[in-house]
A and B are shown apart, each in its own frame.
Chain A
Amino acid sequence: MLDNLSLLGMVPSLNLQLLLDGLLIGSVFALAAYGLALVWGVMNIKNLAQGDFVIMGGYIAYTLSEPPINLHPIISIPIIFVVMFVFGWGVYHTIIKRVIERDLFTSLLATFGLAIVIQQLLNIAYGPDVQTAEAGMEIREFFGGDITIADTKLVSFLLALVVGLLISMFMKKSRMGRAIRATSQNARAARIMGVDTNKVYAFTFSLNAAICGVAGVLISIIWVIQPFFGITHSIRSFVIVTSAGFGNLIGVILSALGLGTVEQFSGFVFGAEFQQATVVGLLVGVLIIRQIMQSRQRQVVK
């Protein structure tokens, strides 16, 4: 551990490498976190199955990229967007609709149950081995090989950017986007003004599932997927949203990039097996900091 730390000091380019990797992967985290911020802010649902939606999207991309279909994962993004949108719509109407007015623990537990169902079904279908969707891209070298950037990471960074921009455009310009923003500010007022909030909720949740699906495709290209990795992705989203607050897109992006970077560095210093511990440690840390800040105002973290 100390060896790795001193290595960082001696080889400056390593820091740059880790920083770049962190920022690139953080951009993908930002997508799933933005989805969580959306459902959290609009319908006050804390979705613990968030990470499992991501992994699910990844597995669909993986399946499509294998024989007999052999579809390139990047081309499959629109298909997965639609599939996950429909899936989210189904989940909304079977489960979420019935817990939306109930206390928060109910929605948390219901989505936790959903997370278990998804991860176990994936486990039955694909087994517990890690998988990657093959995108067949090169790895670029800079500075004589000191810094390497996989094309897949660059492409997924750009794709995450595009998807993010499209969604924020949609939120600003479209009728549904405006209805969503109105509902998140005051659901009752929106209802009085003639917004069909049930439709807004269904749409928001489906959109979230679709965004997660896209994030999953990108994860499956640049990293690995495994049925039980969902919980870590869920906790990542929670770390990002809790530190940024919802309804704050820039904050979500910055926290996500920060989280990606911290994870890369700690993975290097402590070893890859501490990845989950790092994410969870950050979650606890963020909650404690929020708590201290709130307690100065004699308030609690609600």
Chain B
Amino acid sequence: MKKIIQVRDVNKSFGGVIANRNISIDVEEGKITGLIGPNGSGKTTLFNSIVGYHPIDSGTIHFENHEISKLRVQKIARLGVLRTFQQTRIYSKMNCVKNMLISSAHHNTKWTDMFSYYPKELTERAEKLLEFVGLYGKRFLISGDLSFGQQKLLEFAMALMNEPKVLLLDEPTAGINPTLINGLIDRLKRANNEFGITLFVIEHNMRVVMNLAESIYCLAHGEMLSKGTPEAIKQDQKVIDAYLGAH
């Protein structure tokens, strides 16, 4: 199996607080990988390090054949590594279609493309994806007026619009109506299957992550606690202790 993201011995601290210590992670191409851990265990910090939001103290991060730990956010995004945010972020004063259009891929845009019109196919693709997440009827509403769950779905659709190779999802089901969660899991799996996007997911909901991921990493106090298949993780005493101890 090809490893699309390789994180090796990454350290990151803020002031005196060590957020990540010697973290090594492999994300396999075409698979869904999960990342779990109690609050404050350094999951989002690791995400931020991968997408270039802040410099890391030491270690390497490879995406395909690129060393990306020195690159900036935009550059990494254009290579095809995209992330969604824990506190959902969309362009709140634009309508959903425009949110989708501006999210289309930027990796091989030329200077002149800045002043181009949007081709019809792009609008159609945007509408198709909005239908995929169930927001077609609301496509002309100002996205900031949508409910939190709908905004989350929109953010997911925007990420798909960008055609990334890897999508890093930070708690995709947090704040979503429980009746919608199954539908969302289904959409995530289909994005993985049909669009061929590798997923790397932070998730607190154990049922969701066990259902979704093929391999799972568990962090605690900034260190790698355990890794393995969902079954193995479920049985791992260290993981159980970490979760019980943290609450």
A binds B: yes
Chain A contacts to B: CB under 8 angstroms: 296-299
Query: Which B residues are CB-close (under 8 A) to A296?
Result: 55
Flag whether B52 is at the interface (Cβ < 8 A): yes
Query: Which A residues are CB-close (under 8 A) to B72?
Result: 298
| Closest 8 pairs between A and B when the two form their complex, measured CB to CB | A298-B54, A297-B54, A298-B55, A298-B72, A298-B53, A297-B55, A298-B52, A298-B73
1/0 contact trace for B33-55 toward A, CB 8 Å? Answer: 00000000000000000001111
Query: Which B residues are CB-close (under 8 A) to A297?
Result: 54-55
Query: Which B residues are CB-close (under 8 A) to A299?
Result: 54
Complex-state Cα separation, A299 to B53, whole angstroms: 8
Pick 10 A–B contacts, CB within 8 A, sort by A: A296-B55, A297-B54, A297-B55, A298-B52, A298-B53, A298-B54, A298-B55, A298-B72, A298-B73, A299-B54
Complex-state Cα separation, A297 to B73, whole angstroms: 12
Complex-state Cα separation, A299 to B55, whole angstroms: 10
A244 nearest CB across to chain B (Å): 19
Query: Which A residues are CB-close (under 8 A) to B73?
Result: 298
Complex-state Cα separation, A69 to B52, whole angstroms: 66
Q: Which residue of A lies closest to B71 (CB)?
A: A298
Number of residues on chain B facing chain A (CB within 8 A): 6
Query: Which A residues are CB-close (under 8 A) to B53?
Result: 298
Q: Which residue of B lies closest to A298 (CB)?
A: B54
Interface residues of B, dominant DSSP: loop
Complex-state Cα separation, A63 to B175, whole angstroms: 61
Q: Which residue of A lies closest to B55 (CB)?
A: A298
Complex-state Cα separation, A298 to B54, whole angstroms: 6
Query: Which B residues are CB-close (under 8 A) to A298?
Result: 52-55, 72-73
Complex-state Cα separation, A297 to B49, whole angstroms: 12
1/0 contact trace for B50-79 toward A, CB 8 Å? Answer: 001111000000000000000011000000
Query: Which A residues are CB-close (under 8 A) to B55?
Result: 296-298
Complex-state Cα separation, A299 to B73, whole angstroms: 11
Q: Which residue of B lies closest to A299 (CB)?
A: B54
Q: Which residue of A lies closest to B52 (CB)?
A: A298
Complex-state Cα separation, A30 to B54, whole angstroms: 35
Q: Which residue of A lies closest to B72 (CB)?
A: A298
Complex-state Cα separation, A297 to B53, whole angstroms: 9
B73 nearest CB across to chain A (Å): 7
Complex-state Cα separation, A297 to B52, whole angstroms: 10
A292 nearest CB across to chain B (Å): 14
Complex-state Cα separation, A299 to B52, whole angstroms: 11
Query: Which A residues are CB-close (under 8 A) to B52?
Result: 298
Complex-state Cα separation, A297 to B12, whole angstroms: 12
B76 nearest CB across to chain A (Å): 11
Complex-state Cα separation, A299 to B54, whole angstroms: 8
Complex-state Cα separation, A296 to B54, whole angstroms: 9
Given contacts A296-B55, A297-B55, 4 further A-B contacts (CB under 8 A): A298-B53, A298-B55, A298-B73, A299-B54
Q: Which residue of A lies closest to B48 (CB)?
A: A298
Complex-state Cα separation, A298 to B55, whole angstroms: 7
Complex-state Cα separation, A298 to B52, whole angstroms: 8
B235 nearest CB across to chain A (Å): 40
Complex-state Cα separation, A296 to B73, whole angstroms: 13
Interface residues of B in 153-210 (CB under 8 A from A): none
- Residue of A296, A297, A298, A299 with most partner-chain B CB within 10 A: A298
A285 nearest CB across to chain B (Å): 25
Complex-state Cα separation, A77 to B52, whole angstroms: 54
Interface residues of B in 77-105 (CB under 8 A from A): none
Interface residues of B in 8-44 (CB under 8 A from A): none
Q: Which residue of A lies closest to B53 (CB)?
A: A298
Q: Which residue of B lies closest to A296 (CB)?
A: B55
Complex-state Cα separation, A182 to B174, whole angstroms: 30
B49 nearest CB across to chain A (Å): 11
Complex-state Cα separation, A110 to B54, whole angstroms: 35
B87 nearest CB across to chain A (Å): 16
A11 nearest CB across to chain B (Å): 47
Complex-state Cα separation, A7 to B73, whole angstroms: 52
Q: Which residue of B lies closest to A295 (CB)?
A: B72
1/0 contact trace for B134-158 toward A, CB 8 Å? Answer: 0000000000000000000000000
A105 nearest CB across to chain B (Å): 15
Q: Which residue of B lies closest to A297 (CB)?
A: B54
